[in-house]
Structure 1
Amino acid sequence: MTDSLRRRPTLYDVAEAAGVSKSLVSLAIRGQAGVGDATREHILAVAGELGYRSNPWARSLVRGRSGSVGVLVGDLRGYAVDVVHGIEASADRHGVGVVLVDGRGDRDLLARGVERLGGFGVDGIIAVTGQIPAAAVRASAAPVVIVGRPDEVPDSASQVSNDDRLGARMAVHHLLGFGHRRIAHVAGSGRVAARQRASSYEQTMTEMGLTPLILGSVAELVGSDATAVFSATDRIAAEAMGAIIDSGRRVPEHLSVVGYDDTQLATWLRPALTTVEQPRHLLGERAYAALAALQAGEPPRREVLPPSLIVRGSTAPVPENAR
């Protein structure tokens, strides 16, 4: 008979070969107390020689848990990918699998994604999106952690997010430090994170005795007298840099540009983009920890992580003739 057709070794086979009881083998393989170190090593060695592999699905039935978490993303690009990597790294350290669903930026798909993941029997759900419908979170039988800033976070869910207000202040103060006073802001979407960045920009400018200039599009920037621009995202910053160059000016010699997110795009641009970095990998790790806390019966938490400013070549002192 070929190896592929041989009967898989069982706990009983390991116990018989090791000369111990089946219950002792079970304790040793699960890493539980009640087994001496030498005996445990002997049992594990025998199990390895026999090619014994435990059945995770059987274990999950006994524990009443699937050993997997669901991850729902609003858009599987850039920012979300790095957050998911952080979740996967934490899950892997705990021997937990990850089931990924991409909502493709559609709120209805995101709502159905929560329902689908629940149908898969996952032990919890991490939603990496600010678009997750609150009703879908409330309806979930599995505990939910939200990474980001939706319009509403149900009391039953935990939330891990980036401090967007702090990030905006850091961007503005960086430009102020270069002597810029006419600093524009090209706003992003109407979502909570974008609104907080715009609000913090406006507050910081006002506190410094300066006039805020919030623009709805990059086209408005080209016709303004701004010497610097803080963009709501790296993508908007890239559009701004293109428009500035097309107008016959240079970055940062004529106009400094700061982005937000520190996506790969920031390093591809020339000059490379100064930007606010969200701690994406850490957001994923903290989201997994928040989910584990919910599973352990702890109350929902609200955790806000500080961003960092990554200074590159797109910012410089204000031009002498523009002071």
Structure 2
Amino acid sequence: MASGANRRAAAAARHRLLPAGRVAGPMPWIIAIMMFLTILSAAAGLGLGAAVRSMSADLAGRASVQVVEANAEARDGLAARTLQLLRGAQGVRSADPVDPALLADQLRPWLGDAATSGDLPVPALIDVTLTPGEADAKVDRVRRLLVGLSPKLRIEPHATFLQPLAGLLSALGWLAAGVVALMILATGAVTVLAARGAHDSHRGTIDVLHLMGSTDVQIARLFQRRIGLDAFLGSALGFAFAILVIMVIGLRLSAMGSDLLGAVTLDMLSWVLLALLPVLGVVLAMLTARWTVLRALGRSL
């Protein structure tokens, strides 16, 4: 009889530490907000990293040759000779002239009708694709060939123009990674505060459990389960809203039709990493709660 009463008393004490169906309190909502921001920051970092890699792959070995000649007839003749030279040069995979009409359309927003009037000496452009490997050395080799043909020929690697943009995207990606790290630390700090608060508010219940023969590890496991439940609910809620926002942003970026913005995408590995973040958040909260409560119980003895 006495043992049955002790078990019922211990069960009641455990129920006070871990009430059934508990979804109230600020803890799940705080975790939800942090997980929401963590997922968004991680998605931004992964997407920007994919954009930088895609940009680097597209621009590697790409260059433009400018035929800077004021006389239109001389410019066309020099462009034809340059094109023939490039197509036979070692290390050049392809060389294609840029349509003057397309170039004029690109210049019209800045130059107006002067871009198509023919009075403005617009350089002829040739798009060059180099063979893979050692792009800088091949650009230098082509540059020497062009200088030998005419001093009015210039070659500019595409990566040179977009290198500052790639650096900016990389910096933003690292900033997003830093935000994720800060959110992880903040989640751990919130869990510590919640575990300490729960421990302090249930001292009487803890004493009852100790009298019933419960060990510190068993008591810490109860707090771990309680905070783990809060972390699971909050992480699931924050993850769901973050994925919804990411999908909406992805649809808007796709609708814009920009090649650069379209490169900000998430592959399958990125989605797997995002899905692991809530799991890691729950594990972090449970381990932190267990460590905090065990430390608090050790000091109270």
Q: TM-score, normalised by structure 1?
A: 0.24
Q: Which has the higher helix share?
A: 2
Higher relative contact order (CA 8 A, sep 6+): 2
Q: TM-score, normalised by structure 2?
A: 0.25
Instruction: Tell which structure's C-alpha radius of gyration is larger.
Output: 2
